[in-house]
Amino acid sequence: MRVVFLAPIYPPEMIEYTRGLAEVGAQVYGVGDTPREALPARVKPYLHDYLQVPRIMDEEDVMDRVTAWLRGKSIDRVLANWEPLVILAARLRERWGMPGMSVDAVTGFRDKQLMKERVAAAGLRVPKSRRARTEKETRAAAEELGYPLIVKPIAGAGSADTYKCENAAELDETLVKMRGVGEASCEEYIEGEEFTFDTVSIAGKPAYENVAQYLPKPLEMRSLQWVSPVIITVRDMTQAKIQGGITLGRKVLTALGMGDGFTHMEWFLTPKGEAIFGEIGCRPGGAHIVDQMNYTSDIDLFREWARVAVHGRFEADARRKYNVGIVFKRALGEGRITRIDGLNEWLHMCGDSVVEEKLLRPGAPRRNWKHTLLSDGHVLVRHPDWATAHRMSFAAATDIRMFAG
């Protein structure tokens, strides 16, 4: 089985998907704009061959170069797990006449307005929304939909460039910040808790399902520097509270024509108990959520995704053993990390429940929290009891403090 895998080392977790493909027997032909000599040593054993292109985002150029590179070879799959490249992968599949999701289907997972229109056409509840290409259209959408209003890129990911506007003055400020965005989705603000619905699907049917809760909601995580974002996977998938979201998620996959592979959906649970669709991508979630899911069941979803993509089978025992919390920390101050308070005490309190501690150490430059949810590192903790996992996660959020200067 010969597989073209786009961007096999970026973002860095793509190395794990490359590994998974090789481990299930695929010959992996990587394509990226990193020079061959700069490829990390740990990815090289998993690549059968590699093509460096000038710009991985230049779809026409990449398609021509990859087609010429592989002329005379039989390719079985073209795959991408990074959001900006999923349409390029679909275009290559269509050009070469091979199996996989079509450009039209993938566009439904990429274009947020089209996505909501298709989900709503299936009779599912979505936020009211409008597409806007100009400031005039954005203001018209705001007048029609009312405040508070969410404004975000049509093809964005990870809450980047997403803003909540309470009134016209805040909308004016947002329009200045978004002048580099070509198209925006304007949608009603949904009050409620926010969850994920993650799957590894085969022909649109989940072979693996996961629900995680954002604490607080992603928009608040991205807006408030002092917040330590917390995400906790749910061990008990049978609890009544999340059944509406699971049912919604399965129907969304059907409505959008999902094929094989990862999906990452976000949905809202309102105070009245209604599950409302947020958005979805036909790719894995970022910010280590796949690692969380692996720790939840003690499995390797990087490999299981590859098995699904290559062989159409999911073989892991996915019984859920733990609730797994990840906590992202942000240092106070600017410059380099100077100290970490409370970490040793937290590690002692949680003991064997801690599965990862990857905080930046003193001397390391702090990261720009507005550009990455990963911030200045994270801790991961797990426990069979939800309340205990929740308590440990929030102890990390409040009691561990990082400083920079």
pLDDT of residue 390: 98
Residue 215 lies in a domain: yes
End-of-domain residue from the set 140, 161, 188: 188
Burial (Cβ within 10 Å: 0-12, 13-18, ≥19) of residue 177: exposed
- Which residue pairs, CB below 8 angstroms and at least 24 apart, start in 131-135? 131/183, 131/184, 131/185, 131/186, 132/183, 132/184, 132/185, 132/186, 133/182, 133/183, 133/184, 135/175
- Is 89 part of any domain? yes
The answer on pLDDT for 219 being more than 90 is no
Q: What's the chain's average pLDDT?
A: 95
Taken as a whole, the chain contains a residue count of 405
Residue 305, in any domain of the structure: yes
pLDDT digits (tens, 9 = 90+) for 167-217: 999 999 999 988 878 888 899 999 999 999 999 999 999 999 999 999 988
Domain boundary among 144, 170, 188: 188
pLDDT at 87 > cutoff 90 = yes
pLDDT band at 138 (very low <50, low <70, confident <90, very high): very high
Q: Is residue 377 assigned to a domain? A: yes
Confidence band for 156, pLDDT divided at 50, 70 and 90: low
pLDDT at 105: 98
pLDDT of residue 198: 98
Place of tokens 């925006």: 184
Question: Do the domain assignments include residue 352?
Answer: yes
Average pLDDT over residues 55-70: 98
Does 333 lie in the same domain as 378?
yes
- Residues 25 and 149 placed together within one structural domain of the fold: no
Residues 248 and 370 in one domain: yes
Whether 157 and 230 map to the same domain: the answer is: no
The candidate with the shortest Cα–Cα distance to 178, out of 158, 217, 150, is 150
pLDDT for 371 equals: 81
Asked whether residue 324 is domain-assigned, the answer is yes
Judgement on whether residues 144 and 259 belong to the same structural domain of the protein: no
Give the end of a domain, one of 188, 213, 239. Answer: 188
* Whether residue 173 is found in the same domain as residue 227: no
One domain for residues 204 and 334: yes
Task: State the residue range of the domain holding 75.
Answer: 2-100
Q: Quick one: 10 and 83 in the same domain?
A: yes
More confident residue, 136 or 380: 380
pLDDT value at 82 more than 70:
yes
CA 279, 127, 256, 268 torsion-angle sign: positive
Residue recorded with tokens 């790719």: 283
Model pLDDT for residues 378-388, shown as the tens digit of each residue: 999 999 999 99
CATH number at residue 134: 3.30.1490.20
* Residues 179 and 246 occupy one common structural domain: no
Rg, the chain, Cα only: 21
Q: With a cut of 60, say whether residue 158 has pLDDT above it.
A: no
Same domain for 197 and 150:
no
* Least-confidence region, from 18-32, 155-169, 198-212, 218-232: 155-169
Total tally of structural domains belonging to the chain: 3
Q: How far apart are CA 207 and CA 304, in angstroms?
A: 10
Residue 113 lies in a domain: no
Please determine, for residue 220, whether its predicted confidence score (pLDDT) is greater than 60. Answer: yes
Give, as one character, the DSSP assignment of residue 366.
P
Q: Based on the fold, state whether residues 299 and 397 are members of the same structural domain.
A: yes
272 within some domain: yes
Written as six digits, the tokens of 257 are 């024509």
pLDDT at res. 159: 58
Q: Tell me the one-letter amino acid at 86.
A: V
Mean pLDDT of 359-374: 91
**What pLDDT sits at residue 315?**
98
Residue-wise pLDDT tens digits, 289-308: 999 999 999 999 999 999 99
CATH code: domain of residue 55: 3.40.50.20
d(CA 130, CA 172): 17
Q: What is the pLDDT of residue 373?
A: 84
Residue 40 pLDDT > 80:
yes
pLDDT at 64 over 90: yes
pLDDT band at 157 (very low <50, low <70, confident <90, very high): low
E-strand ranges in 83-148 read: 129-132
- In whole angstroms, give the CA distance from residue 234 to residue 384: 10
Are residue 300 and residue 378 in the same domain, yes or no? yes
Q: pLDDT-derived band of residue 160, with 50, 70 and 90 as boundaries?
A: low
